[in-house]
Amino acid sequence: MLSPTFPVVDIPSLQSVSLPDVARIRLEQPTAPAIADIEAAVRDAMARADRLRSLPAGSRVALAVGSRGVAHIDRLARAVVGCLREFALEPFVVPAMGSHGGGTAEGQAAVLARLGVTEESVGAPIRATMEVVEYGRTKDGIPCCFDAAAAEAHAVVVIARVKSHTSFDRSIESGLTKMVGIGLGKQQGARNIHRLGPRGLTDVLPEMAAIAVRHSPLAFGIAVVENARHELVTVEGVAPEAFARTDERLLKRAKSLLARLPFTQIDAFVCQELGKEVSGAGMDYAVIGRTDIRGIANPEHIFIAKLAILRLTDATHGNGIGIGVADYMPMATANALDLKSMYENGITAALVDKCRVPVVLPTERAVLQATVATSWAPDLADVRYCQIRNTLSLDEILVSRALRDELGVAAPLEPLAFDARGALTTLI
């Protein structure tokens, strides 16, 4: 890791800032019943894979698996591999994750391994490469790149979670289309799309995926949707020509199940952890109300005056992309950033704003005091304070008296506690 070393910057005036007492609140989030038998759901979905069934015995099939956090991705991949072997086909796994894993074949294989997808766990070899082939160009001359190992197969199957994108609304966001255009496009394909900014994702990505559908060996897709508890609620088999339509349809279902905060305005907001497995941009913009992309409006349903990030998740491995939308972070977290991984991600995605480092203070206590002190609250004794674990985990939150009373609940208040090093111990 290439990590920075920040100096200790004490701000004496913060020492006198009082922090609010907080109440622990349980929130009811939208839900849908989880699929009880994931393997059976995959078998049912694969029963629609007529193109795969018609392949000659021994045909090679590439199974594209991405880097996003998909519930039970190892079980999904293993079940698809099992079905392919029942069809007398020879499956292998390819990483479909654009530039993730440091933009190297070894790094992308390592990302799969961290997700539990290995040759041993899924029963098929992993073939990682950053080499691509070109299948043509969009009307603007943007090349359609495709994983070279997958291109050599007789067929390609894609597993994708359909969900909101990390930055802004549109009819097709993350799902099968993105896995084809960006995931299987590897670093070159990801760069070609992201360097165009929002237009690359709204206009060029669907066109690029359509080119790949016409010219590549794409044969089938498995689209999944999760509820707010990160449980699989949909496993659907999709023919390539229906990838875009399915993404659009299932995105509506996915968004209807998203966890959200029940407030429109928060003075001081604390996110305990940020990570790539939580969101591609570290935090879900629809939860924090900050897209912070030039030319793209921030969401209107919530406004947060000041936002602090305390820690990085273990699974993000130092990639702190997304910290650029925060106002404060502690020194220990800033010093744990992997700048190479973060900058590689930000430059490939053309979202370098999200790599900017916020104000770095010596301790988590100082970070919370600064967040409250600068929160624009008319009376700090009545500050609207909210603390979450991360933007995927919103079943339980900590709130100050003002927000507790707004919810109309009678939960007891407790003081925020810290250890001798100033690290917050009142956590979710």
pLDDT at residue 307 above 70? Answer: yes
Q: Would you say how long the chain is, in residues?
A: 428
Query: Following DSSP, what letter does each residue of 215-279 receive, concatenated?
Result: HS-EEEEEEEEE-TTS-EEEEEEE-GGGHHHHHHHHHHHHHHT----S-SEEEEEEEEEE-TTT-
Cα dihedral across residues 362, 363, 369, 372: positive or negative: positive
Buried b (16+ CB within 10 A) or exposed e, 60-76: bbbbbbbbbbbbbbbbb
Question: Using CA atoms, how far apart are residues 112 and 37, in angstroms rounded to an integer?
Answer: 23
Structure confidence by residue, pLDDT tens digits, 213-259: 999 999 999 999 999 888 999 999 999 999 999 999 999 999 899 88
Angle ∠(389,394,396) on CA atoms, nearest 5:
80
Q: What is the pTM of this model?
A: 0.81
Q: Estimate the share of the chain in helix, then strand, then coil, as percent rounded to the nearest 5.
A: 35, 20, 40
Q: Give the mean model confidence (pLDDT) for residues 397-417.
A: 97
pLDDT for residue 61 is more than 80: yes
Residue 253 is predicted with a pLDDT of 94
For residue 212, which amino acid is it? A
pLDDT at 170: 59
224 within 8 A of 70, measured Cβ to Cβ: yes
Structure tokens at 163: 């969900």
Give tens-digit pLDDT for 345-358: 888 878 888 999 99
Go through the domains of the chain in sequence order and give each one's CATH number.
Answer: 12-29+260-414 (no CATH), 38-256 (3.40.50.11440)
